[in-house]
Chains A and B, each alone.
Chain A
Amino acid sequence: MIYLAAAVVFIPIAKKLGLGSVLGYLLAGVVIGPSLMGFIGSEGQDLMHFAEFGVVMMLFLIGIELEPALLWNLRAPILGLGGLQVLLTTAAVACLALLLGQPLNAALALGMILSLSSTAIVLQSLKEKGQLSSAAGQSAFSVLLFQDIAVIPMLAVFPLLAGSSQGGSHSESSLRDNLPAWGQTLMVLGAVVVIVVAGRYLLRPLLRIIAGTRVRELFTAFSLLLVVSISVLMSLVGLSPALGAFLGGVVLANSEYRHELESDIEPFKGLLLGLFFMAVGASIDFRLILSMPWVILGLVVGLMSLKAFILLGLGKIFKIKIEQNLLFAVALSQVGEFAFVLLSFSNQSNILPQSTVSILTAVVAISMAFTPLLLLAYERLIQPRFSVQTTNTREADEIQEKHPIIIAGFGRFGNIVGRFLRVNGVKATILDLDSDRVDALHNLGVKVHYGDASRRDMLEAAGAEDAKVIIVAMDTVEQTLDVVRVVRKHFPHLQMLVKAENIPDTFELMDLGVLHIYRETLDTSLRMGADALQMLGIRAYHAYRNAGTFRKQDEKAMKGLSAIRDDKKLYINTVKERIEELEKLMSGERTTRFNPSGLGWDEQSLIDEARQEE
């Protein structure tokens, strides 16, 4: 209950402050943790195990979204970028540890442990900010994936590092402790094979049977059981359950039940992942930190800088653009949740002493807690600087053409307008803010200029002084409104045709005095509606004309509604009236069965008159 309450209290606050939910959870964990309020404490370790289930589920979901074909497509960044990151970081950390006087096996273990990053925090944060599909997001994903895979060989190698002198004398209950080192390695590989084979040949028929019962709860229960049993199996052989779940997910990615599984597990994942973040927050041991603040802080900063530096270098080699590369480096600079597992594992197998492990646990937790903060700092401080700079360097040399039309924003909407104008022999000067899109269009031979159309000098460079028309089709309302304001202020002679996404956008544009507003989905929706009418047997011409009438009426109504939209009650009443009016109009209650604008074809009055005369 404390956890739920903390989540309910902290998440909205964090969101409001623009911090993202991950940081909210972490903070909640810190506050209710043993160091501050002490609501929770002793059970922290158990809770951590429980909450790790969130990570397990996340990896299962990631796996299920990854079709083997997609994995194959990403093989270059996964193997290259991910492999190099793990290798280089491991080597660098191990060298440092050696210099600090650690024995070779401990140094190697440290290197491997600290080379990992947090899949949970990074993916969740990037997803919330919508950066998962950016170049940085894709690269980060590849690296994380490689790391998650690399945990298998790491776990397999650790017993070898421990040497033969240590063995099954520890408290861990997993089966493999009783085996010699090579046997453990074999067992790990065996478990992976079992999952793949079972997933392929056993699970699908089973899923079919369960789906056949059409009891939804059963399916949910089975999904959970599936993930749980994979985890148990993996723990039994002393492997990372998260990895097992990931593998299970990939195996099931091509199955027809993929989406059901996804939607069934998603809510559990969200909650447990939140719990996990809180547990990380709670596990930060402030007493230990306070006892040696500089050592720990130094370790955190040093470690994160080292990792970021290596990532930055790799990004450069893999030709990631500088601003994306920075994001990539910052995002992955922390140490991940697998480190907790590996740390306790290496403690149990006597590779690392308890004191080192507790210090490092604190370091890992702090570095994880820093990540959302760093991402926030990146977003607020670094990113804006870069977009401005890039604009400057790209705008100056590129715009030499002058056309009567300027298109601001060449996404899916502006794109169609531009193509239409082009086939009609009308050339337009095109500005777009999405550098990836600009590059992609360049490769297609379309001349698009990277630049921010809400800047006066940019518009000037695009020939706004002499142009006649500007089409504003930016990706977001904010950008659209910015462009409209600048055009109104500095280039009032330009006729503006503006794309709006929805009704509130439309109102805002009306407030700014824009006359030509085009709601993105209006025409398509009506075309679909007209087609639906035709499928019901209504004449094509009738459907077509009625769609036109509807559109006209709707746009007219929109103008009236704009004025009264702040008065909620009046607004709702008026909308109701308009809907009724429109229905009356379309059904032709006042006139005939036909659309009122088709009155000329209605013979009824003529027939009546003719019959009277007879």
Chain B
Amino acid sequence: MSRILILFAHPAFEKSRVHYQLLATIRGMQGVTVHDLYETYPDLNIDVRQEQGLLLQHDIILFQHPLYWYSAPAMIKQWQDLVLEHGWAYGRTGTALRGKRITNVISAGTKEDAYQPDGWHQHPLTDFLLPYKQTATLCNMQYLAPFVVYGTHQLDATSISEQAISYKQFLETLRDR
């Protein structure tokens, strides 16, 4: 059984519909740690050693966040900049994360057909996630297919619940495989 670390970042979680439901559904899952970054570091002053310690204790890392401007909220970037140190996560001696698996759990406002070459955003979502994929490669980690909730602007409560259930299944598969 793999241990999963969810690095959750939502600057306005109190307003969230989708992520609120996702997290509520997976609450208490065995082998899953939810680490709420904005709650832990409201001043963005990240404790690097603690974060690295958490990474070492888990096998699968998930960045869970809403998609803002084709990217993650500032906290995730801050986290990457500080925690993935040279010599620890990458570089000649940076092997701490070798072999771990990593990916994003994302909510996107628009529907999946907007993320097509002929769609509104002109690229598939995975194109925008290239920095995460390449980061994983640099850190000798394996980048998995992301879990995406599309079209959150139009989702009603029922479909959000459905999404949450499939999120739970997604985690179970990752954990038990």
- A607: chain B residues within 8 A (beta carbon): 109, 153-154
B38's partner among A539, A603, A606, A614 (CB-CB below 8 A) is A539
Which listed residue, A544, A592, A602, touches B43 by the CB 8 Å rule?
A544
Q: How far is the CA of A598 from the CA of B110 in the complex (A)?
A: 21
A544 touches B42 (CB 8 A): yes
A539 to B40, CA, bound (A): 10
The segment out of B10-18, B140-148, B157-165, B168-176 that lies at the interface is: B10-18
Question: Which residues from chain B contact A543 at a C-beta distance below 8 Å?
Answer: 42
A540 within 8 A of B: yes
| B11, B43, B154 interface centre (most CB from chain A within 10 Å) | B11
Q: Are A538 and B14 in contact (CB under 8 A)?
A: yes
- The reply on B68 being an interface residue by CB < 8 A is yes
Across the interface, do A593 and B154 meet the contact criterion of CB distance under 8 Å?
A: no
Query: Would you call A541 an interface residue if the criterion is a C-beta within 8 Å of the partner chain's C-beta atoms?
Result: yes
With contact pairs A539-B14, A593-B14, A601-B12 given, residues A614 and B154 touching in the complex (Cβ less than 8 Å): yes
Q: Within A74-131, which residues are at the interface with B (CB < 8 Å)?
A: none
Complex partner residue of A541 from B15, B39, B68, B110, CB under 8 angstroms: B39
User: Is residue A610 within 8 Å, beta carbon to beta carbon, of the partner chain?
Assistant: yes
Complex interface bits, B19-40 against A, C-beta within 8 A gives 1, otherwise 0: 0000000000000000000111
Question: Could you tell me the distance in whole angstroms from the C-beta of A535 to the nearest C-beta in chain B?
Answer: 13
Q: Could you tell me if B14 and A540 are in contact, using CB atoms closer than 8 angstroms?
A: no
A550 at the interface (CB under 8 A from B): no
A603 close to B153 (CB less than 8 A): yes
Which residues of chain A come closer than 8 Å to B68, judged between CB atoms? 600-601
Contact present for B153 and A539 (CB under 8 Å)? no
Q: Is the CB of A610 within 8 A of B13?
A: no
The answer to whether A539 touches B39 (Cβ under 8 A) is yes
| Chain A positions within 8 Å of B12 at CB level | 542, 594, 598, 601-602
How many interface residues does B have (CB within 8 Å)?
Answer: 16
- What 0/1 readout, one digit per residue, does chain A (588-601) give for beta carbons within 8 Å of chain B? 00001110001011
Residue pair A539, B154 in contact (C-beta under 8 Å):
no
Q: Which residues of chain B are near A592, meaning CB under 8 Å?
A: 15
Residue of B nearest to A599 (CB): B12
B153 & A610 in contact (Cβ 8 Å cutoff)? yes
Size category of the binding interface on chain A? 20 to 34
Given the known interface contacts A539-B39, A541-B42, A603-B153, the answer about A598 and B109 at a Cβ–Cβ threshold of 8 Å is no
| Cα of A146 to Cα of B43 in the assembled complex, Å | 56
Whether B15 contacts A540 by the Cβ 8 Å rule is no
Q: Which of A527-575 contact B (CB under 8 A)?
A: 538-545
A594 is contacted by which of B15, B39, B153 (Cβ under 8 Å)?
Answer: B15
Q: Does A16 contact B (CB under 8 A)?
A: no
Assess whether B38 is in contact with A540, with CB atoms less than 8 Å apart: yes
- B11 pairs with A598, CB closer than 8 A: yes
Kindly provide the distance from the CB of B155 to the nearest chain A CB, expressed in whole angstroms. Answer: 10
Minimum Cβ distance to chain A for residue B7 (Å): 15
Contact across chains for B39 and A540 when beta carbons are under 8 A apart: yes
A601 to B12, CA, bound (A): 7
Chain B neighbourhood of A544, CB < 8 A: 42-43
* B15 engages A602 (CB within 8 Å): yes
CB-CB < 8 A to B153: which residues of A? 603, 606-607, 610-611
Nearest CB of A to B96, in Å: 28
Per-position contact with A for B44-65: 1 when CB-CB < 8 Å, else 0?
0000000000000000000000
Instruction: Give the docked Cα–Cα distance between A593 and B154 (Å).
Output: 20
Query: In the complex, which of the residues A540, A541, A606, A614 contacts B109, with contact meaning CB atoms closer than 8 Å?
Result: A606
- A614 contact set on B, CB distance < 8 A: 154
A542 proximity list for chain B (CB < 8 A) = 12, 14
Judging by beta carbons under 8 Å apart, are B110 and A601 in contact? no
For A600, the closest partner residue in chain B by CB is: B68
CA distance A542 to B14 in the complex (A): 9
Interface contact A610-B154, CB-CB below 8 Å: yes
Interface pair B42/A603, CB less than 8 Å apart: no
**Among B14, B15, B109, residue most surrounded by chain A Cβ atoms (within 10 Å):** B15
* Complex CA distance for A606 and B120, rounded to whole angstroms: 15
Interfacial chain A residues near B109, Cβ < 8 Å: 603, 606-607, 610
Q: Is the CB of B13 within 8 A of A539?
A: yes
Chain B residue at smallest Cβ distance from A593: B15
- How far apart are B10's CB and chain A's nearest CB, in angstroms? 8
Which chain B residues border A606 with CB–CB below 8 Å? 109, 153
Query: How many angstroms from the CA of A409 to the CA of B41 in the assembled complex?
Result: 34
Asked if B15 and A601 make an inter-chain contact with CB atoms under 8 angstroms apart, the answer reads yes
Residue contact B11 to A601, C-beta cutoff 8 Å: yes
Nearest B residue to A595 via CB reads B12
Q: From A543, A593, A607, name the one whose CB has the most chain B CB atoms within 10 angstroms.
A: A607
**Contact across chains for B38 and A541 when beta carbons are under 8 A apart:** yes
- Give A539 Cβ to nearest chain B Cβ, in Å: 5
CA distance A287 to B68 in the complex (A): 95
Please, which residues of chain A bring their CB within 8 A of the CB of B43?
Answer: 544
Q: Write the nearest CB–CB distance from A602 to chain B, whole angstroms.
A: 7
> Could you say which residues of chain A place their CB within 8 Å of the CB of B154?
607, 610-611, 614
Within the complex, the shortest CB–CB distance from B130 to chain A, in Å, comes to 23
CB distance from A4 to the nearest CB of B (A): 57
- Bound CA–CA A538/B125 (angstroms): 33
Whole-angstrom CA separation of A545 from B74 in the bound complex: 14
Give Cα distance in the complex from A614 to B48, angstroms: 45
Contacts of B110 in A (CB 8 A): 610
Question: Which residues on the A side are within 8 Å of B15 (C-beta)?
Answer: 592-594, 601-603
B20 CB to nearest chain A CB (Å):
12
- A603 and B152 CA atoms in complex are apart in Å by 10
Shortest distance from the beta carbon of B49 to any chain A beta carbon, whole Å: 19
Q: Kindly report which residue of chain A lies nearest to residue B9, judged by CB atoms.
A: A541
- Bound complex: CA of A542 vs CA of B42, how far in Å? 8
Residues 128-149 of chain B: 1 if any A CB is under 8 Å from the residue's CB, otherwise 0? 0000000000000000000000
In the complex, which residues of chain A have a beta carbon less than 8 angstroms from the beta carbon of B38?
Answer: 539-541
* Residues of B close to A603: CB separation below 8 A: 15, 109, 152-153
A611 to B39, CA, bound (A): 31
Nearest CB on A from B141, distance (A): 28
Residues of B within 8 A of A541 (CB): 11, 38-39, 42
Docked CA distance A614–B110 (Å): 12
In the complex, A41→B174 CA distance in Å?
A: 99
Q: List 15 A-B contacts (CB under 8 A).
A: A539-B13, A539-B39, A540-B38, A541-B11, A541-B39, A544-B42, A545-B42, A592-B15, A593-B15, A594-B14, A602-B15, A607-B109, A610-B109, A610-B154, A611-B154
Q: A539-B13, A541-B11, A543-B42 are in contact. List 14 more A-B contacts (CB 8 A).
A: A540-B39, A540-B40, A541-B39, A541-B42, A544-B43, A594-B15, A598-B11, A598-B12, A601-B68, A603-B109, A603-B152, A610-B109, A610-B154, A611-B154
**CB within 8 Å of A: which residues of B?**
11-15, 38-40, 42-43, 68, 109-110, 152-154
Q: What 7 A-B pairs have minimum CB-CB distances, sorted nearest first?
A: A544-B42, A610-B153, A540-B42, A541-B38, A601-B12, A541-B42, A607-B153
